[in-house]
Chain A
């Protein structure tokens, strides 16, 4: 890619920051997709140089697009209120805007550093105030424009210095949406053309976000790369909220945006909640665990082995904990039965019932499952249930005579207890 020139004809220094004219209507101007794209990169924060570099277009092509946009009145140089191509342009425009002369006036950069002027939101002419209220981006743009200005009348500070808004944050990327709205629908075009006090950039942002509001890609809706961390998500969420929350347009006539604004904001806050919820963070942790080479079945088998050893050694309580863990990973009837037995041995009949129920559910015709469940029911005093299970198990013929006699013995015992 060729180098960025220090200045370009019709614009001036590539170190200055341009912004989009609020009165510019891209629909009437009939610009193409590339122009739209470049226009969407101009956010009042990036310098011309940065914009030219980030378009990815050949340098001469990028330059000619910026020049064309400038000629169409889409771009404002710092200090201007209305662009040159605009029919409504008045004498308030600075001289170099009317007569494009290459080369920046001297002393610009030193002025830009003047802290007194960097203050905060500034009031401009009535036209400046007529731009959409509430958009943080617009307010910051205006302040940046004022800061670099060498011709505009001295700006008026609205707030004492202690109340200034935070300076534009440059240490983190702004949320990105495709503001060019490729293949815009008739509804979208109509929304862009509505006669409202809502600037084009905000409209485009809202429309672009509405396209992403279906919840399929929360990252894209927040305008951040997938996998961004909590801090990046929060910043994007806050930045976008400041642009599209209905409160930012309180009491204003919003046409079709009256419905669209809350709709988009709700989708945004849902996406944010989804991406930052503790479940998601836990989910992420689980994914990490699953990346271990062992399969869950292998892991469960290992836990089961260790539990068996503990059970043999008489440590029923610890054995049960391990069986429980094994069951959680791989709910096999065999594991469940062992867990139930350990629970009974370590005097935890309630857990025993739970495990035995599950085991019985998975292997209803296994008499040992039935026997264990009956024992668990007995332990919690549910004798009728115990009897029922045993009777059903007895009704099913089993090849295992020992077990049958055990069941018969258990049943007799339960019936004796019931009779008491």
Chain B
């Protein structure tokens, strides 16, 4: 029998966890082995069987090439992205290019998309909860790092769909942790959630009161996590081994996998002990029926030294987030630590030092995110729930305008649902269509942001440029779904899209589009830099031209009259050239000189008249 129950799934980089709210109490559902978390690993065994979780992890060493871990680092990413390129080097499994500039994983001649791999893990979590509940589960709330972009969120939703789950909501991991922390407690305070997981780092500031959880600000780094700490240890081991034996262990995938296991284990052990022995016998064969062994000691101090810059980076992000949100450290009344990495004593002390208070010990860093997801599931479906989450959009949204600039309509950290609109105009005479590129990100340059989708509004009236007005409306629903509508204010013609999947375009392709679609772009009616500069320049050009005859007459007699007229002409030419070149920097400079000259021209005329 199908159940109305909503499970909460923390789909982690290294481990996943599932929870549910029963009789008003959220609890984690253990898997068949009795563990509360399940490794986020998928493997294809020699007999073609699919293995997920603990079983996959257990055989990882002997089947490294066909075992996927940390697939979360690849989900929703583009083949050309830096994230994928760096994964190519370190992952023992084969990562190949997909048909839409996406990423595929090859296991035993079978090609899987990343959402498919994630789906196997979600399916496992679904099974675990169904066995526990004794009924079919269809609905889930799934968590993602706060800094995931729309493409990564959509891909995670796709994974849910493949797994046969209706993902009723995607929520951010730190937010989820805060829900678990504040649930059932009558508190009113500002808290920070420091979430250092396997692959990502997030920091969120929330305001909690009367059952309402308001996200004030959120930021993070999708490429900073426990795996990076492991890699530092691996690099240290590889380097030491190479120095001693002149053998690069990285070239042997099996050795690499063993190194990875031992590095993670050592890192975890050093959270409770001061030093640990690393022992990898027969790590590599030297070819003559002989093998080398790796044996060394790693101290907590050494680990801290190897990773201190990573911890510093997280603290820097914390500082920046507080600054951007204009929140004083002293206003934060509690810090919640989430993610396995926060067990590291140095991480705890760095956080305590930065915020000036001891982090909250009441939450379990591995389970708290899943618990929060289950609570949000309850909040959405249980009529009696007293919980409301006010979430924000983690990235700014807008469109590309002429010159390849990104014009933001919705700023990051805006509470959703939200909508915003702005009027744009045509850039060319007789332009009959405009292309709307919907972008997400913080960069001023369009190509440096994520392209969410595009559409064309046609049938515009033939008119001089700047005359036809197009209103662009953005909406983000409470579910985080983005829809964009463009409307010709004259004819009422409309075009719209709902962003459901990434188009798979690369940066280069966007750059090319910037070039090839120059004539089909819109520009901001007022305020956007180049446009504004050009309008200003054109006005000044007009004005100065009308003054030239008069001024030439007046100053012709003076010593430097001819010189001055020549100079003024040169400035006019310079301005015209930079308009033609569409170069904002030179135009700004030229316009400044032009205005200066114009000002003096005006002065000359008024003085003579006076």
The residues of A with any CB-CB pair to B shorter than 8 Å are 120-121, 123, 129, 133-134, 136, 139, 158-160, 162-167, 169, 234-235, 237-239, 241-242, 245-248, 250-251, 262, 265-266, 269-270, 273, 278, 357, 360-361, 364-365, 370, 385, 387-389, 391-397, 411
Contact = CB atoms under 8 A, between A and B. Distances in A.
Contact of A266 (B379, B389, B419, B597): B419
A238 B564 contact: no
A333 to B, nearest CB: 12
Contacts of A388: 567, 571, 593, 597
A330 B381 CA distance: 59
Given A391-B560, A397-B558, A238 B214 contact: yes
A247 B418 CA distance: 13
- What are the 7 closest A-B residue pairs judged by CB atoms, nearest first? A159-B24, A133-B383, A365-B603, A395-B564, A364-B599, A166-B186, A394-B560
Nearest to B325: A278
Contacts of B384: 121, 123, 133, 139, 158
A165 B388 contact: no
A245 to B, nearest CB: 6
B240 interface: no
B51 interface: no
A203 to B, nearest CB: 17
B592 interface: yes
A242 B558 contact: no
B561 interface: yes
B150 to A, nearest CB: 19
A269 B415 contact: yes
Contact of A163 (B24, B565, B595): B24
Interface stretch (B90-98, B204-212, B516-524): B204-212
Contacts of A248: 388
Range for the number of chain B residues in contact with chain A: 35 or more
A361 B210 CA distance: 56
A396 B558 contact: yes
B571 A262 contact: no
Contacts of A250: 168, 380-381
B596 A389 contact: yes
B330 to A, nearest CB: 15
Contacts of B477: 246, 262
B380 A251 contact: yes
Contact of B210 (A121, A242, A247): A242
Contacts of A370: 600
B478 to A, nearest CB: 5
B262 interface: no
Nearest to A270: B418
B416 to A, nearest CB: 9
B62 interface: no
B186 A167 contact: yes
A393 B211 CA distance: 69
A139 B379 CA distance: 14
Residue among B209, B210, B326 facing the most chain A CB atoms (10 A cut-off): B210
B211 A395 contact: no
Interface string B241-265: 0000000000000000000000000
A353 to B, nearest CB: 11
Contacts of A397: 558
Contacts of B571: 388
A235 B383 CA distance: 22
Contacts of B184: 159, 162-164
B398 to A, nearest CB: 18
Nearest to B564: A395
Contacts, number: 149
B552 to A, nearest CB: 10
A169 B600 contact: no
A129 B23 contact: no
A395 B558 contact: yes
B561 A273 contact: no
Interface of B: 23-25, 168, 183-184, 186, 207, 209-212, 214, 326, 379-381, 383-386, 388-390, 414-415, 417-419, 477-478, 555, 558-561, 563-565, 567-568, 571, 592-593, 595-597, 599-600, 602-604, 607
Nearest to A388: B567
Residue among A234, A265, A395 facing the most chain B CB atoms (10 A cut-off): A395
B209 A234 contact: yes
B607 A365 contact: yes
B212 A242 contact: yes
Nearest to A397: B558
Contacts of A123: 384
A242 B559 CA distance: 77
A309 B331 CA distance: 43
A245 B592 contact: no
Given A166-B211, A250-B380, A396 B607 contact: yes
Nearest to A142: B384
A160 B604 contact: no
Contact of B599 (A134, A166, A361): A361
A266 B380 CA distance: 19
Contacts of A165: 186, 211, 386
A262 B417 CA distance: 6
B417 A394 contact: no
Given A139-B384, A238-B388, A262-B478, 19 more contacts: A120-B386, A134-B383, A136-B210, A159-B25, A163-B184, A242-B210, A245-B478, A247-B389, A269-B390, A269-B418, A273-B415, A360-B596, A360-B599, A361-B596, A361-B599, A365-B603, A385-B593, A391-B560, A391-B563
Contact of A245 (B388, B596, B603, B604): B388
Residue among A158, A165, A389, A392 facing the most chain B CB atoms (10 A cut-off): A392
B381 A251 contact: yes
B388 to A, nearest CB: 5
Nearest to B383: A133
A394 B211 CA distance: 73
A245 B214 CA distance: 12
Nearest to B557: A397
Contacts of A393: 600
A274 to B, nearest CB: 12
A273 B413 CA distance: 11
Contact of A158 (B24, B379, B389, B595): B24
Contacts of B414: 273
A130 to B, nearest CB: 10
B218 to A, nearest CB: 15
11 contacts: A123-B384, A133-B383, A134-B385, A158-B23, A159-B23, A235-B210, A250-B168, A270-B418, A364-B603, A396-B558, A396-B600
A160 B210 contact: no
Contacts of A234: 207, 209
Nearest to A272: B415
Contacts of B607: 365, 396
A160 B25 CA distance: 8
Nearest to B209: A238
A394 B564 CA distance: 8
A250 B383 CA distance: 9
B417 A266 contact: yes
A246 B389 CA distance: 11
Contacts of A242: 210-212, 386, 388
Contacts of B604: 365, 395-396
B186 A247 contact: no
A373 B385 CA distance: 68
A129 B419 CA distance: 33
